[in-house]
Structure 1
Amino acid sequence: MTERHDGTATDKERASDVNVPPIDDPESTDASSFTGLYRFATRPQKCVIIIGAIIALICGALQPLNHLLFGDLTQIIIEYSEACLNPNSTNCSVAGDNLSAGIKHFGIWSSINGVAIMITGYLATEAFSYNAIKQVFRVRSLYLQKLLNKDISWFDVHNSGDFSSRMADDLSKFEDGIGEKVPLFLTLQGSFISAITLALVKGWELALICLISLPVSFIAVGLIAYLTTQFSKKELDAYAEAGSIAEEVITSIRTVIGFGGEKLETQRYEKNLIFAKDNNIRRHFFEGIGYGMLWLCIFSSYGLAFWNGIKLMLDGNPVYTPGNMLTIFFSVMAGSMSFGSASPFIEAFATAKAAGRNIFHMIETSPIINQSKNNGAKLAQVRGNIKLQNVKFQYPSRKDVPVLQGIDLEIQAGDTVALVGRSGCGKSTLLQLGVVSQEPVLFGTTIAENIKYGNRDATELDIVQAAKMANAHRFIKGLPGGYHTLVGERGAQLSGGQKQRIAIARALVRNPAILLLDEATSALDTNSEAKVCFQLRASEHRTTIIVAHRLSTIRGANKIVVISDGKVVEQGTHEDLMELKNEYYALVTTQVHSSEQFENIGEANEKKIFDSVEDDDEDFAPKRVNLVRMIKVAEINHEALKETDEESEVDNYVKTASLWSIVKLNSPEWLSLFLGCFGAAVMGTVLPIFAVLLGSILQVLQDSDKNYVRQETNKYILYFVLAGVLAMFATFLQLYMFGRAGENLTLRMRSRMFDALLKQEKRYFDRNENGVGSLCAKLSNEAAQVQGATGQRIGAIVNSLATLILSVFFAVYYEWRLGLVAMVFVPLIIVATFIQKKQMSQESDDYKESLEKSTKIAVEAVGSIRTVVSLGCEKTFFKLYISELMPHIKKCPRNTHARAFILGFSRAIIFAFSACLVYGGYLIKHENVQYGDVFKVAQALIMGTVSIANSLAFTPNFEKGLVAARTVMNMINRIPKVSNSQNALIKNTADGNVNYSQIHFSYPTRDSIEVLKGLDLSVLQGKTVALVGPSGCGKSTIIHLLERFYDPASGTVSLDEDDIKSITLASLRSHLGIVSQEPNLFSRSIAENIAYGDNSRHSTDSEIIEAARKANIHNFITQLPEGYNTKLGEKGTQLSGGQKQRIAIARALIRHPKVLLLDEATSALDAESEKVVQDALDNAKQGRTCLTIAHRLTTIQDADLICVVNNGVIVEQGAHTDLIERNGLYYRLYARQHYFL
C-alpha cells in the first residue's frame, strides 16, 4: 500500500528527501536591532552576508570615483573652450590635444569602473538574495518546530489562530527586509561615505558648507525610521488578529453560515482591518512630511553650496577650479541623494524588524514541558501499571477553577478501567494524553495515511487489521478509492461515526500498552459500537482507560471509577456499584428508564446478539461498486483528483492581471491616485530640471564678467530653492496620497475576499486546495501583496517615466545627436526589466503555490495540536512542511543568479554616462557644441536611466503584486454554486412542513458514490421525526441538504411546499436551528456564543440566561468566576465536550426556529444531564418541527416517526412500538443497545 499525502507523492518519499536545516537555539540578539534580523543565519551564511555587505559598500564606494573623473574632464573642456573661443589664443591646438587625451582617459577609467560596479553589484545581490531565502526557510522551519514543541498549556492561553498570518504575512515582510534591498541600501551608504570623503579631500571648506543640512537629514531619517517601526508593529498585530478571526470562521464555516453569521463575522474581521488602515495612513502622513522636508534641505544646501563655491572660485582660490568645484558638488549631491533615496529601504527594514520581533518572541519563549528535549527516563518496556496520587489540577486559562482536587487512582496492567461522571467533572482532564477523543481529528490526507499516523512503521496488513478491529474496513472498501480516499480537511468528507472509527483504528495500529478512549464511541451506531467494544475486550495485556457517558461502553470493565467534583467517589465492578445503589446506580437507572420491555434479556442472549453483528453488517453494508474490482484503487483516486484539479483550474482562471486592472480596483480612490501621480510626476521632473540648472551654471562660469556670473548664479540658486520647495510638496503628495490609496485598496481587497469566501457553497471548502491554512494564507498575504503593484510602486513608475520623458525631451531639444547615443542604453535597461519581470512572475507563482501548500500543512498541524502531540507526529508534520517548501528552495539559486545579474547590470549605468561624455567631447572639439549643452543632455539622460535602474529594486514587489491580484480577483469574482436564484423568495414566516422527494445526492469530492438514492421523506408541521442507521448512511446529509449546504443532483427539498432553491438562503436558514454532533464554539464569551444563535437582532441578557437554563448549563456558568463573560478559548477548548454541547443547544434555542435540527445533540452528555436536556428539548419541540439524528435510541422513542436509513434510502419507518413489533433492523439495534446498558 502506497502512503499518500493529498493524493500526490508519498509522505515517506518526500520526507526522506528533505534536508532539514540544523535548528539550534540561536544566540541571544537584540530583536530591535537590524543585525538581530540575521540571528537565525548559520555561521557560513553570516560569513557570506558579511562578505556581501563589504562588497556592496565597495560597489557604492566606486560610484563617486566617476565624479572625480568627470571633474577632471570638465576642467579640460572648460580650458579648451576658453582657449579656442579667444581668437587671439595660440593654445587652441594644445588644448585640443589635451581634450582628446582627457576624453580617452575618462573613457577607459570610467569603463573599468563600470565593470567593477557591475561585478560587485552582482556579487552583493547574489549573497543577500540567496541567503535571505535560506534564512527565511530556516526561520519558517524553526517557527513551526518550536510551535509544535510547545506544551499544551501554552495553547490554552495563546491564540494559535493568528499562526497563518504570521507564517504568510509577517515572514513575507521579514524576507523583504533582509533580502536584496539590503545590498542596495548598503550600496547607497557606500556611495554616501565615499562621496563625502572625496568632497572633503578635494575642498573641505565647500564640502562642509554643502553638508550643513546633513545633521538635520540624519535626525529626520532617524525619527521617520522610529515612527515607521512603531506604526508597523501595530499594523502587524492588527492583521494577525484579523488572521485569527479568519481561521476561526473558515474552520467553523458550517456554523457561521448555518446561523447567518456572515455579516457579523465580516464586521468583526473588518474592525481590525480598519484599525490597520488608519494606522498606516498616519504612518504615510508622517513619512510624507519627513521626506518632503528632507528634500527641501537637500536642494537648499545645493543652492548654498553653489553660492559659496562660486564665491570662492571668483575670489581666486586656486583649489576651487570649476572642475574641482563640480567634483565636490557632485560628490556631495550624490551622497545626499543616496542618503535621501534610502527612505523606501528604511521603511522595509523597519517593517521587517516589527515582523521579526513577533516571530522571534514566540520562538525564544521556552515551554514549561519541552517536548523536543530527550530529558527524563526512557522505559525499556511499558507494562501498563498506572498510579495517580493526590493529583490536583486547574487549567492555565482558569487557574481559579479547580478541576481535579486530590485524585487517587491505581490501575493494574491489563485492566480495563472506566471513568464515569457528570460533564465537566474532570474525566477527560485525566486523559489529556488521550489518543481517541470525543471529537476525533483527522488530517487532510488519505484514510491509510491517517491510520498510519498512529504508527509510522505500520504495514498495509497492520492498517487493514486495525481498520477491521475498529469496524471500519467494510465502509472503507466500499469507497471508490478504498484506503486511498482523501478524507478532506479535519475529515470533512466523512460522517462523525466514520471519523471516530478511523481514529480508533489509528490508536489500535500503535498496539499500545495503554489505550485511552475519551468518548471514543459516542458517534457510533449501535452495531459498530457493539463490534468495537467486543474487539477491545478481546485484547489481552493492554491497559485500557475509558471515559464514557454511554454506559453500554463500559459495563464489562474490570473497574469502574465514578468521579464527582474532581474527586473519586466510587470504584468497583458494574455489579458491585449497582449493589451500592449510589452515584453509579443513579446514572445507570437514569439512562435505562424507558426500556422495561427488554429487562429479561440476559447472559443467555449475549452470544445470540453478538452473532447477529455479522448478519446485521450484511443488512447495513453498502453495495460494493463493481469498478473497484476492475480498476486499481490508485488509478481511481488519481482520476478523482484530476477531476478536482480541472474544476479548480476553471474556478481559478483569470487572465493575467495587468497594472490597469489593479488601478481599476483602486478607482474609488481616484482623487488620491490623481494627486499621488501628480506629485510623483512633479518629483520626476525635478531631477532633469536640476541637471539643466547645473548645465546652465557651468555655461555661465565661462564668462569673464564676474558681476554677470554672480548675478546669474544668484538667479539659478533661487531656482534650486524653488526646486526644493517643489520637491517637498511633490514628495508629500506622492507618499501620502499613494499610501492612502494603497491602504484603502488593501482594506477593500481583504474585506471583499473574506466576504466572498463566506458566500461560497460548502463544496468549495471541501476541495483539497481550499483548506483552512491555504485560504488564510491567501487572505493575509495576497491582498497585502497587491500593494506591491500599486500605491508607492505606481508612484515609482510614474516618477521614473516622468524623469525619462523629460530627459529625452531635453536631449532632443539641446543636442539630439548626443541624445541618440544616450538613448541606446535605454532599450538595454528596458529589456533587462522585461526579462526580470518574466522571471519574477514565474518565481512568484512557484513561491505562492509552495507557500500555500506548506501553510496548509502547518495550520492543520497547529490547529489539531492535541492530536498531533498525542500521536507523537510532531516530526512527521514538520518534515511534510519542509518538503512542501523544498521545491521552491531548490529553484532559488537559478532565480537569484539571474536577478543578481540584472541588478548588477542596472548599477553599471556609468557606461551610458561615459559614452555620452566621450561623444560630447568629440562634438565640442569638432562640431563647436557648447559644453553646457553636453552636460545638460548627459546628466539629464543619466538621471532618467538611474531612476529606471532604482525602480528595478521593487520589481519583485510589483510582480508578486500582479500574481496576487490575479488570485484576489479570482476569489472575489467566483460565483457560488449554491446561491440565491434571480427571483428568490424572502420567506419571513414558515409553518415547518418539510418534504424530500426522490433525492439523489453525491458529495462533489466523491461523486462516484451516491449517498442518497431516491430518498423520500415528509416531516409534518410540529412533528418530531428521528433518523437512525449506521454511520455514513446519509443521515447528516439529509440535514445538510435542508440547510442548502449542498444542492441535490436530482429531486426536490421543500419547506411549506416551496422549493428551498426558490427561497433566499438567509430567510431559509433563519427558520432552522441546528445542534451538531461536533459543536463549533468561538473564541468569545459564553454569552456571545449563545447569542450567536440569532444574528438578526441583539439578544438580551435575560434571553441568553433563559436559553442556558433550558439547556441545563446555567448553573455551571454561574459557578465560573466571570460567569457568562468567561472566554471559551479557541474552539471552546476550555470546556468539556458535554459543556460545549449544552452551550450549542442553548445557541439553537435562542434562535426560536420553526424547524429544529438535532444531529446527535446529546451524544456527549452524561445520563443525568441528558435527561434534563432531553426534557428541555422536548419542551423546545412543542409547536416546532423537529428532525433529529441519534444513535442512543432511548432518546428518540417518543418521536412521532422513526425512520431507519440504510444505503441512501429509508428501509423502515414508524413509531417506536410499531418498529419493535416488526422484529426488523430497528428491533435488533434496540435489543443490542439495551443489552449493553
Structure 2
Amino acid sequence: MDTKTSLKDFVALLRQTRLNKGLFATGIFLTLIGTIGSLIVPLLTQSFIDGYDSELFSNGLIALIIVVFVLSAALDGVAYYILARIGQTIILRLRERVWEKFLKLPIRYFDQTKSGESVSRVVNDTAIIKDLITSHFPQLISGIISVIGAVVILFVLDWRMSMIMFIAVPVSIVIILPLGRKMSRISRALQDETAAFTGVIQETLSEMRLVKSFNGEAFERNKGQRGIRSLYGYGMKEATINAFLSPIMSTVMMFVIILIIAYGGVRVAEGTLSMGTMVAFLLYLFQIIMPMTMFAMFFTEYNKALGATERIIGILDKEEEDEDESVSGEVIDFNTLTFEDVAFGYEPSKEILHRISLTASNGQKVAFVGPSGSGKSTIFALIERYYDIDAGSIAVDGTDIRNIPLSTLRRQIGYVAQESAIISGTIRDNITYGLGEDEYTDADVDLAVRRSYSHEFIEMLDQGLDTEVGERGIKLSGGQRQRIGIARAFLKDPKLLMLDEATASLDSRSEKFVQEALDDLMQGRTVLVIAHRLSTIINSDRIFFLDNGHITGEGTHHELMENHAMYRIFTEQQFG
C-alpha cells in the first residue's frame, strides 16, 4: 500500500520537534561553502597543469590548492557535526513525544497492538527520520549545488564537451524512477515486517519460562524463522534492485567518461583544448557522477522517512484518555460507588455486561462471584476507566466518573491483582511506584512493609529494600510479589480497594501472610473483591453473582444460599 503521507506532513512533524532553524541553516550554509570549495579545486588544478601563471605557481599555487582542499574538508566536518546534533535533537524530541503519547493512550490501544511494534515505532522509525535529516538531506543539498556548479563551470570551459554529459540524463531518469518507486514500496513493507517481527521476538523472550516449561522451542523456532526469512526476503528484494541500479548507473557514467576522454583526447591532439582543461573537465565530471548515484539512494530513504512519518503521525493522532483537568477537586471520598444500568462490550457487536446496577458504600466489603468470563474483572476495568461504558453510568458520590479527572479518580483506587505487577528495579522502587518523593517518607515505606508482612522476607535480604527484583520480579516468589503489591497499596492509602483473586495462586503459608495483610488493608475502606474461593468472601456485606454479564443474584452469603441455586452449587462444590 502506497503511503499517503506527503512532504508537507513530514515538515509538519519536524516543526513539532522545535527544530533550531538557525543552527540548521548554519549547517547547510557550511555544507554549501565546503561544496563551493571543492568546485574551486579543479580550476586551480587546471592553472597548475597549464602553467598559465608561472609566478603564481612558483609563489605557492600548490599550497593554495592544499589550503582550499583542507578548508573545504574542515567546513564539511563542522557542518556534519552541526547537522548530526540537529538530527539527534530531532530524534530525542520525537521519541519523547511518541513515548509520552503511549503513556496517554487508552488500554484498548495496547489490547490491539503488540508491544514490540510500539517499540519499533519509538526506536526504528524515528531513527529513519533522523538519518534523512542528518545524512541524506545534507548530501542532497551538497550534491545539487555540486552538480549545478560543475555543470555551469563545464559549459564555461567547453560547451561542446559538456553536451556529451547530457546523454546520461534521460537514461538515468528512465532507470532511477521506476526502480526508485519499487524500492520505496519494498522499504515500507520491510518497516512493517520489522515492527511485526520485533513484536513476536519481544513476546517470546518475555515468556521464555512458558516456552521452556511446555517444550515450545520447536514452535517458537519455526515462528521466528518465518519472520527472519520474511525479513530476508525483503532484504534480498532491496539488494536485487541495488544490484541492478548500481552497475547500470556505473556503466552509463563510465560510457560518458570514455566518450569525453576520447573526444577530449582528439581536441587536445588538435590543440583546441588544453591538457589542464581536460583534467579539470574530468574532475568536475566526477563531482557530477557521485551525487547522481546518491540521488537514487536519497529517493529510497526519503520514501522510507515518509513511511515512518505516516506511522508516527498515526500514533500521535490517536485519541488519548480523556483527562479533563478543568474539573475541580483533587480529592474524592468514595462514600458511595454506584453502577446504574451499565452496558459494555469490548467490541460494538459483542456486549459483555448487560444493564448492571449495584451500589457499594464506604466501609463495606462487596464481593463478585460467578463463572469465568462472566464479567467480574470487566467491572474493575470500568471503575478504573480503562474503558468507557457504552450505556448507563458509573458514579462516585453522585458524580459520573467521566467527569472526574483520571489522575484524581485513580489516585483514590488501590488494586491488588491475582499476580501483582512488578517492574525491574528495587523493592523500594516497586512499593513507591507512581508516587512523588514528596508524597511519602521512609517511615511511611517501613510502615507499609510491616503492615503487608513484607518485612518477613525483606529483612533476610542483604540489600533489604534496595534489593534488585529482576525483570517482572523474577527473583521473587509469588507470595513475595503479592506482599509487595499490598505494600504498594498500603502506601497509596486509597479510598477504594479492589482485590482481584489476590490469594488464588498462593501456597497455604503465603496465603496466610497475604490474607492477614489484606484484612488489615481493608479496614476503613470501600472494598470490592473478586474471588473463586468462597471462604474469602463469606463475611462480605454484599455478594453479587454474575452469569454471562448479568447480575442474577445479590445478598449476603446466607441469603444467596437460600435463594440462589447457582451460588448454592458453587458453595457445595467447594465445601461439600
- 2:456 paired residue among 1115, 1120, 1125: 1115
**2:383 matched residue in structure 1:** 1042
Q: Which amino acid aligns with 1:714?
A: N
Q: Which amino acid aligns with 1:991?
A: D
Matching of residue 776 in structure 1 with residue 119 in structure 2: yes
**1:750 matched residue in structure 2:** 95
Return the TM-score normalized by structure 1.
0.44
Matching of residue 915 in structure 1 with residue 259 in structure 2: yes
Q: Residue 1163 of structure 1 aligns to a residue in which SS?
A: coil
* Rounded Cα–Cα distance in structure 2 between residues aligned with 1:666 and 1:1044: 31
* Rounded Cα–Cα distance in structure 2 between residues aligned with 1:1052 and 1:1188: 21
* Rounded Cα–Cα distance in structure 1 between residues aligned with 2:15 and 2:282: 37
**2:38 matched residue in structure 1:** 687
* Rounded Cα–Cα distance in structure 1 between residues aligned with 2:288 and 2:225: 44
Q: Residue 338 of structure 2 aligns to a residue in which SS?
A: strand
- 1:895-906 alignment, distance < 5 Å: 895-906=238-249
Return the TM-score normalized by structure 2.
0.91
Q: Which amino acid aligns with 1:1234?
A: F
Q: Is the 8 A contact 1:657 1:966 kept in 2?
A: no
Structure 1, residues 196-218: CA drift from partner, whole Å, max 9, x if none?
xxxxxxxxxxxxxxxxxxxxxxx
Post-superposition offset of 1:1118: 0.6
* Rounded Cα–Cα distance in structure 1 between residues aligned with 2:465 and 2:343: 44
Structure 1, residues 1001-1049: CA drift from partner, whole Å, max 9, x if none?
1113xx4331101111222233221111111100110010111111112
Post-superposition offset of 1:863: 1.2
Q: Is the 8 A contact 2:332 2:409 kept in 1?
A: no
Question: What is the root-mean-square deviation in Å for CA atoms of aligned residues?
Answer: 2.9
- 2:374 paired residue among 1030, 1033, 1040: 1033
**2:203 matched residue in structure 1:** 860
- 1:966 paired residue among 299, 310, 314: 310
Q: Residue 1094 of structure 1 aligns to a residue in which SS?
A: coil
Paired residue total: 573
- 1:801-812 alignment, distance < 5 Å: 801-812=144-155
Matching of residue 655 in structure 1 with residue 5 in structure 2: yes
Q: Which amino acid aligns with 2:318?
A: R
Kindly tell me: are residues 718 and 910 of structure 1, through their superposed partners in 2, closer, same or farther at Cα, counting changes over 3 Å?
same
Query: More deviation in 1033-1042 or 936-945?
Result: 936-945
* Rounded Cα–Cα distance in structure 2 between residues aligned with 1:726 and 1:824: 34
* Rounded Cα–Cα distance in structure 2 between residues aligned with 1:889 and 1:1068: 49
* Rounded Cα–Cα distance in structure 2 between residues aligned with 1:1048 and 1:1155: 20
Matching of residue 735 in structure 1 with residue 80 in structure 2: yes
Post-superposition offset of 1:700: 2.8
* Rounded Cα–Cα distance in structure 1 between residues aligned with 2:13 and 2:37: 28
Matching of residue 669 in structure 1 with residue 20 in structure 2: yes
Post-superposition offset of 1:773: 2.5
- 1:1079-1094 alignment, distance < 5 Å: 1079-1092=420-433, 1094=435
Post-superposition offset of 1:1174: 3.6
* Rounded Cα–Cα distance in structure 1 between residues aligned with 2:267 and 2:104: 69
Q: Residue 1204 of structure 1 aligns to a residue in which SS?
A: strand
Kindly tell me: are residues 1025 and 657 of structure 1, through their superposed partners in 2, closer, same or farther at Cα, counting changes over 3 Å?
farther
Q: Is the 8 A contact 1:662 1:789 kept in 2?
A: no
Matching of residue 1011 in structure 1 with residue 352 in structure 2: yes
Post-superposition offset of 1:1074: 0.6
Q: Residue 1210 of structure 1 aligns to a residue in which SS?
A: strand
Matching of residue 949 in structure 1 with residue 293 in structure 2: yes
Q: Is the 8 A contact 1:1204 1:1213 kept in 2?
A: yes
Q: Is the 8 A contact 1:999 1:1049 kept in 2?
A: yes
Q: Is the 8 A contact 1:662 1:790 kept in 2?
A: no
Kindly tell me: are residues 868 and 738 of structure 1, through their superposed partners in 2, closer, same or farther at Cα, counting changes over 3 Å?
same
- 1:513-552 alignment, distance < 5 Å: none
- 1:108-187 alignment, distance < 5 Å: none
* Rounded Cα–Cα distance in structure 2 between residues aligned with 1:1124 and 1:923: 86
Q: Is the 8 A contact 1:697 1:713 kept in 2?
A: no
Q: Residue 1026 of structure 1 aligns to a residue in which SS?
A: strand
- 1:329-478 alignment, distance < 5 Å: none
**1:1071 matched residue in structure 2:** 412
**2:327 matched residue in structure 1:** 985
Post-superposition offset of 1:734: 2.0
Kindly tell me: are residues 1095 and 667 of structure 1, through their superposed partners in 2, closer, same or farther at Cα, counting changes over 3 Å?
closer
Matching of residue 1148 in structure 1 with residue 493 in structure 2: no
Q: Is the 8 A contact 1:807 1:941 kept in 2?
A: yes
Structure 1, residues 1098-1125: CA drift from partner, whole Å, max 9, x if none?
5322212211222222111111222211
Matching of residue 1220 in structure 1 with residue 564 in structure 2: no
* Rounded Cα–Cα distance in structure 2 between residues aligned with 1:1221 and 1:666: 66
Q: Which amino acid aligns with 2:44?
A: L
Query: More deviation in 1218-1227 or 1110-1119?
Result: 1218-1227
Q: Is the 8 A contact 1:681 1:799 kept in 2?
A: yes
Q: Which amino acid aligns with 2:330?
A: N
* Rounded Cα–Cα distance in structure 2 between residues aligned with 1:1198 and 1:1096: 38
- 1:785 paired residue among 104, 125, 128: 128
Kindly tell me: are residues 678 and 1079 of structure 1, through their superposed partners in 2, closer, same or farther at Cα, counting changes over 3 Å?
same
Q: Is the 8 A contact 1:1030 1:1206 kept in 2?
A: yes
* Rounded Cα–Cα distance in structure 2 between residues aligned with 1:741 and 1:1226: 66
Kindly tell me: are residues 838 and 1111 of structure 1, through their superposed partners in 2, closer, same or farther at Cα, counting changes over 3 Å?
same
Kindly tell me: are residues 1044 and 1203 of structure 1, through their superposed partners in 2, closer, same or farther at Cα, counting changes over 3 Å?
same
Q: Is the 8 A contact 2:479 2:514 kept in 1?
A: no
- 1:202-281 alignment, distance < 5 Å: none
* Rounded Cα–Cα distance in structure 2 between residues aligned with 1:661 and 1:838: 23
Q: Residue 402 of structure 2 aligns to a residue in which SS?
A: helix
* Rounded Cα–Cα distance in structure 2 between residues aligned with 1:657 and 1:868: 45
* Rounded Cα–Cα distance in structure 2 between residues aligned with 1:665 and 1:833: 33
Q: Is the 8 A contact 2:41 2:69 kept in 1?
A: no
Query: More deviation in 917-926 or 1081-1090?
Result: 917-926
Kindly tell me: are residues 986 and 1135 of structure 1, through their superposed partners in 2, closer, same or farther at Cα, counting changes over 3 Å?
farther
Q: Is the 8 A contact 1:1000 1:1013 kept in 2?
A: yes
Q: Is the 8 A contact 2:190 2:235 kept in 1?
A: no
Q: Which runs of 5+ in 1 are unaligned?
A: 1-648, 702-707
Q: Is the 8 A contact 1:684 1:799 kept in 2?
A: yes
Post-superposition offset of 1:929: 5.8
- 1:877 paired residue among 220, 244, 257: 220
Post-superposition offset of 1:921: 5.5
Q: Which amino acid aligns with 1:1011?
A: I
* Rounded Cα–Cα distance in structure 2 between residues aligned with 1:905 and 1:686: 30
Kindly tell me: are residues 974 and 825 of structure 1, through their superposed partners in 2, closer, same or farther at Cα, counting changes over 3 Å?
same
Kindly tell me: are residues 1031 and 973 of structure 1, through their superposed partners in 2, closer, same or farther at Cα, counting changes over 3 Å?
same
Q: Which amino acid aligns with 1:902?
A: L
Q: Determine which structure has more spread, i.e. the larger CA radius of gyration.
A: 1
- 1:1229 paired residue among 555, 570, 573: 570
Q: Is the 8 A contact 2:5 2:307 kept in 1?
A: no
* Rounded Cα–Cα distance in structure 1 between residues aligned with 2:435 and 2:13: 38
Kindly tell me: are residues 826 and 666 of structure 1, through their superposed partners in 2, closer, same or farther at Cα, counting changes over 3 Å?
farther
- 2:51 paired residue among 696, 700, 704: 700
Q: Which amino acid aligns with 2:384?
A: E
Query: More deviation in 911-920 or 842-851?
Result: 911-920
Query: More deviation in 802-811 or 846-855?
Result: 846-855
* Rounded Cα–Cα distance in structure 2 between residues aligned with 1:1093 and 1:923: 80
Post-superposition offset of 1:831: 4.8
Q: Which amino acid aligns with 1:989?
A: V
Post-superposition offset of 1:903: 1.0
Kindly tell me: are residues 888 and 753 of structure 1, through their superposed partners in 2, closer, same or farther at Cα, counting changes over 3 Å?
same
* Rounded Cα–Cα distance in structure 2 between residues aligned with 1:730 and 1:1105: 60
Kindly tell me: are residues 653 and 1088 of structure 1, through their superposed partners in 2, closer, same or farther at Cα, counting changes over 3 Å?
farther
Post-superposition offset of 1:873: 1.3
* Rounded Cα–Cα distance in structure 2 between residues aligned with 1:935 and 1:792: 30
* Rounded Cα–Cα distance in structure 2 between residues aligned with 1:1161 and 1:1151: 17
